[in-house]
């Protein structure tokens, strides 16, 4: 725990600027307010289909990333970071990868080819496993475009200490248990809802639950590779410490289809995980915390559903 606090202290000492952080905080607060007040994501983006949805997502993510980045770099007089051609190319490709992954174009048409009984499970699982093709393969291709290759997007265990991250999960356990009783989160979890898939396949329902939860957990690995591995570890080569605040803003927009409380907390969680990734050059801490929180919320959701 001391090491994590040390990382945060060092990062804030070198990166924090009151004016910049205030402007970015105001931008995110207004974005959250407008999104949840008018259901912008659900009504104007999620209702679009295929490549139209991908384009809408790419535009939203571009605003979420480049506006805070530009503001921070201009105010802190770090304009050299904005002049890197490779940074603009890589970040633009990263935003496109995210838009395709979240938009999942043509997935609905493929799922419609399956028996009706398994479509919901198949869609929810495929939406998460799709990142093998929409995130992992593009990142492998982009890896060879980078001149400074140390680890594969932070997938390194060198000098990695897992203990602080499991300690954080223990601290969060009672907090998440209480939060799961709120209407905002209680209605959202568990992510897997009962489907007739287990009846169709003639297997116990826990089998289909495990299929979904495996796919759900896998997606968090690629999320960490993308947000902390790519947008922080890789782009910090060109941006330095501003890569963290820009990523945290982008990460907030990823959560706009989820409960409002989750979108707000993602700013702080994304920022902290970004600092950890920047300092350790590893994303495994974020993977542990991310999957741990996700599966705990699922567990609390199942327990409330059962009792």
Residues 6+ apart with CB under 8 A from 89: none
| pLDDT value at residue 21 | 98
**Per-residue pLDDT, 127:** 93
Q: Where are the alpha helices (DSSP H) in 76-224?
A: 85-103, 107-111, 119-129, 131, 137-143, 163-179, 183-186, 197-201, 205-224
Distance of alpha carbon 267 from alpha carbon 277, whole angstroms: 15
* 104 within 8 A of 127, measured Cβ to Cβ: yes
Residue 186 scores a pLDDT above 80: no
Q: What is the pTM of this model?
A: 0.92
Confidence of residue 111 (pLDDT cuts 50, 70, 90): very high
More confident residue, 114 or 144: 114
Which whole number is the average pLDDT over 185-214?
A: 88
CA dihedral sign, ordered 216, 269, 85, 146: negative
Q: For residue range 144-174, what is the model confidence (pLDDT) as tens digits?
A: 877 766 788 999 888 788 888 999 899 999 9
Mean local confidence (pLDDT), 224-233? 97
- pLDDT for residue 306: 66
pLDDT tens digit sequence for 11-51: 999 999 999 999 999 999 999 999 999 999 999 999 998 99
Task: Using pLDDT thresholds of 50, 70 and 90, give the confidence band for residue 183.
Answer: low
String of b and e for 197-226 (b: at least 16 CB within 10 Å)?
bbeeeeeeeeebbebbbebbbbbbbbbbbb
Q: Among 4-13, 141-150, 240-249, 276-285, which stretch is predicted with the lowest mean pLDDT?
A: 141-150
- Verify cis geometry, omega within 30 degrees of 0, for the bond prior to 257: no
Question: What would you report as the CA-atom Rg of the chain, rounded to the nearest whole angstrom?
Answer: 20
8 Å CB contact between 131 and 229:
no
Task: Calculate the alpha carbon distances from 240 to 75, 110, 259 in Å.
Answer: 15, 42, 32
The yes-or-no verdict on residue 307 having pLDDT over 80 is no
Token pair, residue 74, equals 């201009």
Mean pLDDT of 274-301: 92
Stretch 186-197: mean pLDDT: 82
- Average the pLDDT over 283-299 and give the result: 92
Highest mean pLDDT range out of 137-146, 156-165, 251-260?
Answer: 251-260
* 191: nearest Cα among 204, 203, 180, 175: 180
Domains of the chain by residue range: 2-306
């Amino acid at each position: 725990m001391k090491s994590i606090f040390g990382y945060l202290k060092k990062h804030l000492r070198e990166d924090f600027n009151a004016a910049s952080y205030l402007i970015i905080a105001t931008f995110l607060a207004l974005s959250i307010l407008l999104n949840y007040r008018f259901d912008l994501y659900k009504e104007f983006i999620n209702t679009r289909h295929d490549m139209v949805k991908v384009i809408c997502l790419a535009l939203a993510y571009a605003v979420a990333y480049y506006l805070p980045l530009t503001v921070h770099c201009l105010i802190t007089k770090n304009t050299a970071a904005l002049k890197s051609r490779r940074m603009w190319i890589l970040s633009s490709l990263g935003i496109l990868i995210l838009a395709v992954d979240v938009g999942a174009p043509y997935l609905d048409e493929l799922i419609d080819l399956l028996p009706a009984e398994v479509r919901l499970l198949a869609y929810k699982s495929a939406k998460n496993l799709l990142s093998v093709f929409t995130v992992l393969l593009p990142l492998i291709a982009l890896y060879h475009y980078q001149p400074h290759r140390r680890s594969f997007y932070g997938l390194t265990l060198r000098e990695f200490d897992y203990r602080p991250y499991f300690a954080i999960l223990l601290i969060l356990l009672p907090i998440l248990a209480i939060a799961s009783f709120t209407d905002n989160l209680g209605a959202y979890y568990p992510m897997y809802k009962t489907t007739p898939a287990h009846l169709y396949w003639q297997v116990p329902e826990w089998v289909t639950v495990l299929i979904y939860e495996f796919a759900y957990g896998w997606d968090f690995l690629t999320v960490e590779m993308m947000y902390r591995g790519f947008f922080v570890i890789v782009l910090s080569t060109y941006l330095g410490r501003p890569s963290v605040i820009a990523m945290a803003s982008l990460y907030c927009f990823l959560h706009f289809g989820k409960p409002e409380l989750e979108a707000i907390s993602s700013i702080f969680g994304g920022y902290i995980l970004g600092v950890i990734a920047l300092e350790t050059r590893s994303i495994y801490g974020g993977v542990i915390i991310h999957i741990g929180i996700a599966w705990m919320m699922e567990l609390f959701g199942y327990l409330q559903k059962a009792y």
